[in-house]
């Protein structure tokens, strides 16, 4: 279900209302033109009609904001997941003092081998970031910029902690580079979503992804158990 959701969201994009003159120009494109910009080969593709939806009776603009935020967030998580899967599958782990090392375990097995306390800490940590994102700054369904994480203000520091651009590099980019970077991030996120689901599928059903046959170790457990 998650894979279907992410794929659907990946093709139902809102106008790119990011921060630059070029981004504004992109935002004025039709959905078909925008789809062509993101993927010249496939173009615009919205089989579920999400582009015309009105989620929770909030209006189509709010729905656009939700869909854009969902895709950007899913893409970023998938990029982390893809890199993490590759690292763990190759046996690269933290030093012993961060927890027991499970030699030869698949990435899925490494998760299930963690203690309940460790899993709860990870989920709570992620939940805090979700909480801050939803309740701080201008909400993405009410005119905020989808994908821009609100800074941590009011903490003891010489300036607010900005996870969206912690070193201030993005702020120095030209408008053209920012717009190009957004397109690249969305496309990389789409590819990562396909990649991580492909590896998980190959581990659960050996042979289901021919290109990964013999590369991904099989996993006999329930890969969706953490979501149940």
For the chain, domain boundaries: 2-112+172-227
For residue 3, pLDDT over 60 is answered with: no
pLDDT at position 23 is: 40
- Which tens digit of pLDDT belongs to each residue from 14-59? 333 333 333 433 344 566 777 888 899 988 888 998 988 999 999 9
DSSP 8-state class, residue 207: T
Closest CA to 223 of 108, 116, 73: 108
Using pLDDT thresholds of 50, 70 and 90, give the confidence band for residue 193: very high
Helix (H) / strand (E) containing 64: helix 60-89
For residue 137, pLDDT over 90 is answered with: no
pLDDT at position 100 is: 54
Mean pLDDT of the chain: 79
Residue whose structure tokens are 């139902």: 12
Lowest-pLDDT choice from 24-38, 156-170, 197-211: 24-38
Using pLDDT thresholds of 50, 70 and 90, give the confidence band for residue 188: very high
Report long-range pairs for 44-50 (Cβ below 8 Å, ≥24 apart).
44/11, 45/11, 46/11, 46/12, 47/8, 47/11, 48/8, 48/12, 50/8, 50/9, 50/12
Q: How many Å apart are CA 210 and CA 87, to the nearest integer?
A: 21
- Please check whether residue 199 is in contact with residue 78, taking contact to mean a CB–CB distance below 8 angstroms: no
Using pLDDT thresholds of 50, 70 and 90, give the confidence band for residue 168: confident
Q: How many Å apart are CA 167 and CA 170, to the nearest integer?
A: 8
For residue 215, pLDDT over 60 is answered with: yes
């Amino acid at each position: 279900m998650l894979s279907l959701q992410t794929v659907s969201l990946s093709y139902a994009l809102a106008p790119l209302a990011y921060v630059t003159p070029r981004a504004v120009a992109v935002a004025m494109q039709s959905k078909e033109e925008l789809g062509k910009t993101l993927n010249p080969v496939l173009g615009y593709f919205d089989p579920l009609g999400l582009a015309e939806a009105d989620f929770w009776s909030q209006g189509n603009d709010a729905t656009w904001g939700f869909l854009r935020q969902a895709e950007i967030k899913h893409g970023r998580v998938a990029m982390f997941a893809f890199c993490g899967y590759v690292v763990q599958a190759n046996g690269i782990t933290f030093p012993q003092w961060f927890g027991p090392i499970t030699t030869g375990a698949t990435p899925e097995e490494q998760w299930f081998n963690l203690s309940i306390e460790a899993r709860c800490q990870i989920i709570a940590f992620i939940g805090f970031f979700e909480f801050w994102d939803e309740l701080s700054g201008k909400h993405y369904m009410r005119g905020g910029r989808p994908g821009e994480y609100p800074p941590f203000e009011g903490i003891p520091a010489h300036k607010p902690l900005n996870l969206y651009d912690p070193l201030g590099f993005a702020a120095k980019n030209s408008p053209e580079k920012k717009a190009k970077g957004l397109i690249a991030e969305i496309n990389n996120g789409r590819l990562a979503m396909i990649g991580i689901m492909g590896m998980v599928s190959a581990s659960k059903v050996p042979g289901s992804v021919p290109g990964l046959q013999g590369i991904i170790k099989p996993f006999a457990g329930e890969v969706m158990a953490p979501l149940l």
